[in-house]
Amino acid sequence: MTTEPQSNQSPPEPPPAPRPTRRLTVPTLPRAAAATTGQQVSRAEVNELITALGDANHPRHAEAVDALVALGATVVPALCAVLDPDRPWLTVYRATEALAQIGDGRATGPLIKVLKHPNANVRWGAVRALTQVGDVRALFALRDVARSDQGRTTWGESVPGAAQSALELLSRRSIWAQSLELVKLAVVSVIFLLSMALAFGVIGTLRNELDQFGRYVPGQTELPTLVLPTPRPTATPRRPTPASQPTTLPATQVITGTALQVANVRPLPGTNNQPIGRINAGDEIIFLARTANDQWYLIRLGEQRSPDSFIANPDGSGTGWVNRALVSPPPTEVPIQEPLPLPAPTATP
C-alpha cells in the first residue's frame, strides 16, 4: 500500500483539519427528519455540493461538507459514489468527512474500499468515518490497515495508529453489545421462571382447597378457607416535572470531552514543535481554552484515562495543545487563548 500521496494527485495546499463528528457527542436530528429535509433539495444542488468538495476555488467549497451533512441520509448514495480510489484525493477525503458526521451504515462498504486509496489523508479520513459509523464489518479491513499501512497525513497523524484506535473502540462496542444481549436473555429467563413458579404455587393451592369440598363433617371439620396470593400495592406514579422549570447551571463548570484516538499533545498549537505528551482513545480530557481559528484545544487529562497517557509540560501545568480532529468537540463554548511562544533556549557559556 502506498504510504504518501502522489505528486500528481495532491494540490499544493494541505487540506483543512477535519471537523470532529457530531455522532459521538452532541444530539442530532433523527435520520427520518434529516431525510425529509434532503428531499426538498434538487439533484442539481447535491451535484453542485459534491463538485465543490474537491474544488478549492469553488465558491461553496468551504460550506460543502456542512451543507451535505445538513441534508442527512438523502445524500449518502451520492457521497458513496465519490468513494473511489481513482477519484482525486481531496474530493474523496471531504466525502469521508461528511459521511463520518452523518453516520449512515450504508457507507461501510464504500469506506472500506477507499482504505486502498493511494493518498494517506483519504485513508485516515476513511478510518475515522468507519469509527463513527460503528459497523463491525470494518474490523477485518481496519486490522489490515493497522498492520500494513505506514502512511501519515499531511498534518502528521498516523494512519495505522488511527486504525488501531478504531479497532479498540469497535471491539469494545461489540463486546458491550453482546454482553447486553446476554443480560437481557438472563433477565427474561429469570422472570419466566418466577412466573412459572408463582403459577404452579397458585394452582397447587387451589387444588388442595378443592379436594376439601365434600368432606365437611359438622362439628369436626372447619370450612376450608381459600388462600390466594395477596396482590402487591402499586406505587403511586410520580408527577412529571414541568418542562417549563428552568435548569440552573453551576457557577463554574468543568468542560470535559473524550479522546477519539491516540494523539500527540504539544506545547503550542501546530505540528512544528516536539510533543510533550500523549493521549489514548477513550481518555477523559478537560477543555481549558481554544485558538481563535478553532483548530486547537488546550487540555489536561481527566480522571478516566489510560495508564500510559501523560502530559509533561515543562512549566509543570500538566496542560498541552491537541488538534480538534483528535478529540470530541466540547459540549459548550470554550474561551479563546492565544498561547505565548516558547522561550528561546539559553546558550551554554
We report the CATH number of the domain holding residue 304 as 2.30.30.40
Q: Do 151 and 260 have their domain in common? A: no
Q: Do 200 and 307 have their domain in common? A: no
Q: Do 35 and 176 have their domain in common? A: yes
Q: Which residue has the higher pLDDT, 138 or 57?
A: 57
pLDDT by residue (tens digit) across 223-257? 555 555 665 655 555 555 444 444 443 446 789 99
Q: Mark which of 212, 240, 263 sits at the end of a domain.
A: 212
Work out the pLDDT band at 21, boundaries 50, 70, 90. very low
Terminal alpha carbon distance of the chain: 50
For 204, the grid coordinates are 397447587
Using CA atoms, how far apart are residues 56 and 279, in angstroms rounded to an integer? 33
Q: Is the pLDDT of residue 40 over 90?
A: no
pLDDT average, residue stretch 300-305:
90
pLDDT at 315: 85
Q: Do 295 and 171 have their domain in common? A: no
For 251, the grid coordinates are 457557577
pLDDT at 186: 72
Mean pLDDT of the chain: 76
Using CA atoms, how far apart are residues 133 and 274, in angstroms rounded to an integer? 33
Structural domain of residue 69, as residue ranges? 1-212
**What 3 state SS string does 181-245 have?**
HHHHHHHHHHHHHHHHHHHHHHHHHHHHHHHHCCCCCCCCCCCCCCCCCCCCCCCCCCCCCCCCC
Q: Is the pLDDT of residue 109 over 70?
A: yes
Work out the pLDDT band at 55, boundaries 50, 70, 90. confident
pLDDT average, residue stretch 116-129:
91
Could you tell me if residue 225 is inside a domain? no
Q: Do 161 and 14 have their domain in common? A: yes
Give the range among 7-11, 111-115, 198-202, 217-221 with minimum mean pLDDT. Answer: 7-11
pLDDT at 119: 92
CB of 321 closer than 8 Å to CB of 268: yes
Q: Is the pLDDT of residue 29 over 50?
A: no
Q: Do 168 and 315 have their domain in common? A: no
DSSP-derived 3-state class of residue 31: helix
DSSP state of 261: S
Total structural domains in the chain? 2
The top-scoring range by mean pLDDT among 108-122, 124-138, 240-254 is 108-122
Grid look-up 471491539 returns 171
Could you tell me if residue 272 is inside a domain? yes
Could you tell me if residue 9 is inside a domain? yes
Using CA atoms, how far apart are residues 182 and 204, in angstroms rounded to an integer? 33
Could you tell me if residue 79 is inside a domain? yes
pLDDT by residue (tens digit) across 272-299? 888 999 899 889 999 999 998 888 999 9
Q: Do 207 and 259 have their domain in common? A: no
Could you tell me if residue 220 is inside a domain? no
Q: pTM of the prediction?
A: 0.41
User: Which amino acid is it at 181?
Assistant: E
pLDDT by residue (tens digit) across 157-209? 999 898 898 888 887 765 544 555 566 667 777 788 888 788 777 787 777 76
We report the CATH number of the domain holding residue 84 as 1.25.10
Could you tell me if residue 347 is inside a domain? no
For 110, the grid coordinates are 464504500
Could you tell me if residue 31 is inside a domain? yes
Q: Is the pLDDT of residue 101 over 50?
A: yes
Among 288, 297, 289, 305, which residue's Cα sits nearest to residue 326? 297
CB of 90 closer than 8 Å to CB of 60: no
Q: Which residue has the higher pLDDT, 36 or 65?
A: 65
Q: Mark which of 212, 227, 246 sits at the end of a domain.
A: 212
Q: Do 282 and 174 have their domain in common? A: no
Q: Do 148 and 267 have their domain in common? A: no
Using CA atoms, how far apart are residues 306 and 314, in angstroms rounded to an integer? 21
Q: Do 125 and 269 have their domain in common? A: no
Could you tell me if residue 246 is inside a domain? no
pLDDT average, residue stretch 60-68:
90
DSSP state of 74: G
Q: Do 162 and 302 have their domain in common? A: no
Q: Do 200 and 277 have their domain in common? A: no
Q: Which secondary-structure segment (H or E) carries 128?
A: helix 120-133
Q: Which residue has the higher pLDDT, 198 or 40?
A: 198
